[in-house]
Amino acid sequence: MDDKAYYVATGLSLAAFLLLLHRLVVAGRAGGGKGNNAAARRQRQRLPPSPPAVPFLGHLPLLVSQRAFHSALAGLAARHGPVFSLRLGSRAAVVVSSPGCAEACFTEHDVAFANRPRLPSQELASFGGAALAVSSYGPYWRTLRRVAAVRLLSTHRVACSMCPVISAEVRAMLLRVSRAAEASGRVQLKDCLFELSLSVLMETIAQTKTSRTDDADDVSPEAHEFRRIVDEILPYLGATNLWDYLPSFLRRFDVLGVRNKIGDVVGRRDAFLQRLIDAQRRSLGDSDDSEKKSMIAVMLSLQKSEPDVYTDTMIMAVCGVTGTETTSSTIEWAMSLLLNHPEALKKAEAEIEAAVGTSRLITMDDVPGLSYLQCIINETLRLYPVAPLLLPHESAADCTVGGYDVPRGTLLFVNAYAIHRDPAVWEEPAEFRPERFRDGKAEGRLMLPFGMGRRRCPGETLALRTVGLVLATLIQCFNWDRIDGAEIDMTESGGLTMPRAVPLEATCKPRQAMRHVLQQL
């Protein structure tokens, strides 16, 4: 029995007793003025509709259903409307699945929904809520956001400092893919793409390239170690960790040791990041050229002037991000779609060959001019958004969404997956059609793969640059095909980043016209 199924079985076994206890408590309070006033307030509110729920557990069984959570919520929206409510244990939640209501949440009510819920797993995994993505809205968050936007992930810094790193790591990836293609003719792209994304992340965070000691392995030891940490911690992040919604007294029992498991991997992650910070501190010179510095080095420079603000914990919270999975998953989904639609793959090949030719590798500067490639990326993000439910928000004040009252303290899930597949907005929404983004045809239609409003992902520019160059390079350099002609399985897995249920494997061989270029790597 897996963890989630065990939780449900345990919860159901306690449900009868707890429900009886709950009813006895409610009965004891009946007739009290305070209780009557609260009931009257609830009756006056126009709360969103809600699907049938299990007593005491509410809608927690949705988290362990066979369908991915975002897909299950899309099905409920089709029956209950674009705004409906859930009860996840003791937490009230609202799910928004329409473009208009989502836009209202992030414009008209952006301040009200700028906060993040303090989920127990995120408290443990995010330095006590200090990480940018999950920190509470306020002065501390604004400081983090400003540093990320201006000092670390600005368009200028990405172009001048990070794009050369991405280009170098793409070349290293080409060598890995070429070796795999020559050895077996088959390539499992998930590993190659994840290693590339991880190497880019580690190089921009801490300039780990100098740690590579084996010419046969172009991934640094730090990247290998961080991958193990990421693989262990990702299952506990996002909206679908059942442990987050259990009552506190059940979490204290922690029969499966979830708290200890998270604590163990977080301890190793923190020690790893502290080693990176200490190494950067020892090598930090007097140069003020922040464009050539790693993220950690930039933060350490700020620490010199404001040590109480830019503590080592803050540096870890800013730099210890896990954006590797989102980037690699997006490229993997794009390649999966292209393999199932070879006519689109041929169009992309022809566009790249016409714009770049076969005498050199494509560069970052070439990518913006490849309009059809941009359509492919947009259509991939529409069908398989980076985070299908974004990250959960929490209402800091009472507000109204879609004509319904949303009380203060309610969790907000915005189902980007459902919004991107809304049949009222997109013709044949489940079909892969890059052409729908040609010549501004999709202008004005809401797309939010990186969120919207104050909590929009600050790493969007870096992610899109990486996806564009990697995808274009794979198309330019290799001939790709499905194994034995079988259709690529497009089943989605659940979780924060909606990875493929089955890692993509394809046949691959260098294009004859590009062999001389690959041999020069």
Write out pLDDT tens, residues 3-15: 554 455 455 445 5
Q: How far apart are CA 91 and CA 410, in angstroms?
A: 7
For residue 123, pLDDT over 70 is answered with yes
- Does residue 75 lie in a domain region? no
- Does residue 135 lie in a domain region? no
Give 28's pLDDT tier (boundaries 50, 70, 90): very low
The 10s digit of each residue's pLDDT in 187-219 is: 999 888 988 988 888 888 888 764 544 444 566
Give 298's pLDDT tier (boundaries 50, 70, 90): very high
CATH number at residue 463: 1.10.630.10
For residue 390, pLDDT over 60 is answered with yes
- Does residue 128 lie in a domain region? no
Nearest one of 257, 273, 233, 266 to 124, comparing CA atoms: 266
The runs of H, that is alpha helices, within 284-430 are 295-305, 312-319, 324-340, 342-355, 371-383, 416-420
Which residues is 58 bridged to in the sheet?
54, 88
What percent of the chain has pLDDT above 70? 88
Which pTM does this prediction carry?
Answer: 0.89
The total domain count for the chain is 2
The 10s digit of each residue's pLDDT in 214-256 is: 444 566 787 788 888 888 888 887 777 888 888 777 788 877 7
pLDDT at 24: 42
For residue 497, pLDDT over 90 is answered with no
Instruction: Give the chain's mean pLDDT.
Output: 87
- Does residue 191 lie in a domain region? yes
Give 26's pLDDT tier (boundaries 50, 70, 90): very low
Do 25 and 170 fall into the same domain? no
For residue 344, pLDDT over 90 is answered with yes
Q: Out of 81-85, 226-230, 266-270, 357-361, pick the least confident.
A: 226-230
Nearest one of 88, 55, 124, 7 to 389, comparing CA atoms: 88
Instruction: Estimate the share of the chain in helix, then strand, then coil, as percent rounded to the nearest 5.
Output: 60, 10, 35
Do 362 and 508 fall into the same domain? yes
SS3 label, residue 58: strand
The runs of H, that is alpha helices, within 407-488 are 416-420, 460-477
For residues 422 and 26, which has the higher predicted lDDT (pLDDT)? 422
Do 22 and 154 fall into the same domain? no
pLDDT at 23: 46
Residue 182 CB partners (closer than 8 Å, separation 6+): none
Do 9 and 149 fall into the same domain? no
Do 166 and 33 fall into the same domain? no
- Does residue 291 lie in a domain region? yes
Do 173 and 292 fall into the same domain? yes
Q: Is 457 annotated as a binding residue?
A: yes
Q: Out of 125-129, 335-339, 375-379, pick the least confident.
A: 125-129
Q: Out of 120-124, 288-292, 338-342, pick the least confident.
A: 288-292
Do 153 and 7 fall into the same domain? no
Do 37 and 170 fall into the same domain? no
For residue 357, pLDDT over 90 is answered with yes
Q: How far apart are CA 376 and CA 372, in angstroms?
A: 6
- Does residue 268 lie in a domain region? yes
- Does residue 11 lie in a domain region? yes
- Does residue 54 lie in a domain region? no
Cα four-point dihedral sign 415, 418, 424, 425: positive
Q: In terms of residue numbers, what domain contains 35?
A: 1-44
For residue 493, pLDDT over 60 is answered with yes
